[in-house]
């Protein structure tokens, strides 16, 4: 038996990874206790996605309702499968700036201590298995906001001559910056993943993502930008823009493109790597531009309001430079842009949203 361990398996990235590797013939051991519903409410529950995985993948998927903070439970599971484990994809997290400030202990223990539990279990029971961590661009804190911005009609931009015009590289400092508590907990996890790679010689990688998105995202106001925006446009739910005149820029990477990047690393793993990964210049938009796209796709006028206060540690402009990853894995390419992503989110979820089911996103 060849086993893939996936944490956060009922979430956006975890479910995409589970389906992808099951289709390749691997047995997927999923770990997910639906903490997303605890963070963001019933509408953000991933229970519907867990049921979908069990129904579609059948015997290729084994679900475990385990909290990654439970060291003993994690160790028992890894010991059970041992050297059958060929890959660990760690996609479980508390993912919100705002939520972290409400309960720093829960945020930090999930993001940092939970990651430590998984790394140590991998080292003890499956030391040759690559360990892929879904980190975040928030490890750079608000340093990107110090870039020299130009205000344009619908977005903030930087000069074409700037060294980061094609995207922010991994050489940007993560020090001397305001991270938010969420950013700090993810920094802790990110550095642990690097250290286990370099200190113990394990195949580890931190993928510092921009906005991760796709049709299976259980989007909520505090997390899941494009999915939640499209849901609001479709259902005529009021949406709030937080600061920066609505011109803040995000790159957006489809979950399928990200999992294909994971697969490339799995096939030829490296030790202690860090990769910025996102839509880059191929797939990015401002808040204002995303609203216009959603309105065009749905035919509805979005109901929105504006708050002058931006979220703590939030970026005015983020576009990832994927060139380091592409230099290591030249066969990987982005296949979805923002328009493709939004159209797929809308088409996949329209029927569910129309019936007002909780599983709408």
Question: Under DSSP, is residue 159 helix (H, G, I), strand (E, B) or coil?
Answer: coil
* 359 domain-assigned: no
Q: What pLDDT, on the 0 to 100 scale, is given for residue 223?
A: 66
Tell me the torsion sign for CA atoms 34, 36, 37, 39.
positive
Whether the per-residue pLDDT at 357 is higher than 90: the answer is no
* 127 domain-assigned: yes
Read out DSSP for 283-328? SEEEHHHHHHHHHHHH-----EEEESPPPTT--SEE-B--HHHHHH
* 15 domain-assigned: yes
Q: What pLDDT, on the 0 to 100 scale, is given for residue 220?
A: 61
Q: What pLDDT, on the 0 to 100 scale, is given for residue 43?
A: 81
Distance CA 140, CA 24 (A): 35
User: Residue 153 belongs to a domain with what CATH number?
Assistant: 3.40.50.720
Question: Under DSSP, is residue 88 helix (H, G, I), strand (E, B) or coil?
Answer: strand
Whether the per-residue pLDDT at 48 is higher than 50: the answer is yes
Beta-sheet pairing, 273-277 with 204-209:
parallel
31-40 average pLDDT score: 93
The domain of 147 spans: 3-354
Q: What pLDDT, on the 0 to 100 scale, is given for residue 201?
A: 98
* 155 domain-assigned: yes
What is the enclosing helix (H) or strand (E) of 150?
strand 149-151
Q: What pLDDT, on the 0 to 100 scale, is given for residue 88?
A: 98
Q: What is the mean pLDDT of the chain?
A: 94
Q: Name all contacts of 114-118 with Cβ < 8 Å and 24+ positions apart.
A: 114/67, 114/68, 114/69, 114/189, 115/68, 115/90, 115/188, 115/189, 115/192, 115/193, 116/189, 116/192, 117/68, 117/69, 117/70, 117/71, 117/74, 117/75, 118/7, 118/68, 118/74, 118/88, 118/90
Distance CA 216, CA 252 (A): 15
Whether the per-residue pLDDT at 356 is higher than 60: the answer is no
Q: Which residue has the higher pLDDT, 246 or 97?
A: 246
Whether the per-residue pLDDT at 327 is higher than 90: the answer is yes
Q: Which of 55, 60, 70, 5 is closest to 31 using CA atoms?
A: 5
Distance CA 245, CA 289 (A): 12
CA distances from 352 to 295, 306, 359 (A): 19, 28, 7
* 361 domain-assigned: no
What backbone phi and psi angles, to 5 degrees, belong to 156?
A: -90, 145
* 13 domain-assigned: yes
39-53 average pLDDT score: 90
* 343 domain-assigned: yes
* 360 domain-assigned: no
Q: What is the pTM of this model?
A: 0.94
Look at the chain and report how many structural domains it folds into: 1
């Amino acid at each position: 038996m060849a086993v893939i361990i996936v944490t956060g398996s009922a979430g956006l990235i975890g479910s995409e990874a589970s389906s992808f590797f099951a289709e390749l013939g691997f047995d997927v051991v999923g770990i997910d206790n639906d903490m997303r519903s605890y963070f963001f409410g019933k509408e953000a529950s991933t229970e519907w996605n867990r049921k979908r995985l069990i129904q579609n993948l059948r015997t290729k998927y084994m679900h475990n309702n385990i909290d990654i903070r439970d060291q003993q439970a994690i160790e028992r599971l890894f010991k059970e499968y041992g050297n059958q484990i060929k890959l660990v994809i760690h996609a479980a997290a508390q993912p919100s700036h705002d939520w972290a400030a409400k309960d720093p202990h829960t945020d930090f223990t999930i993001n940092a201590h939970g990651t430590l539990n998984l790394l140590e279990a991998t080292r003890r029971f499956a030391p040759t298995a690559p360990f892929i961590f879904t980190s975040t661009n928030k490890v750079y804190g608000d340093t990107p906001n110090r870039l020299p911005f130009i205000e344009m009609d619908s977005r903030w931009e930087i000069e074409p001559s700037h060294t980061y015009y094609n995207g922010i590289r991994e050489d940007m400092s993560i020090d001397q910056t305001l991270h938010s508590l969420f950013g700090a907990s993810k920094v802790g996890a990110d550095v642990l993943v690097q250290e286990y790679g370099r200190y113990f010689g394990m195949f580890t990688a931190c993928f510092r993502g921009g906005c991760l998105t796709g049709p299976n995202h259980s989007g909520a106001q505090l997390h899941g930008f494009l999915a939640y925006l499209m849901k609001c446009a479709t259902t005529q739910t009021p949406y709030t823009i937080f600061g920066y005149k609505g011109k803040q820029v995000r790159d957006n990477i489809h979950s399928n493109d990200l999992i294909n990047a994971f697969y490339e690393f799995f096939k030829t793993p490296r030790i202690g790597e860090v990769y910025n990964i996102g839509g880059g210049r191929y797939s990015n938009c401002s808040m204002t531009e995303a609203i216009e796209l959603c309105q065009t796709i749905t035919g509805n006028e979005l109901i929105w309001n504006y708050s002058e206060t931006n979220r703590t540690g939030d970026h005015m402009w983020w576009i990832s430079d994927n060139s380091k990853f592409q230099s290591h894995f030249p066969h990987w390419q982005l296949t979805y842009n923002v328009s493709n992503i939004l159209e797929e989110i809308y088409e996949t979820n329209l029927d569910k949203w129309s019936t007002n089911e909780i599983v709408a996103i």
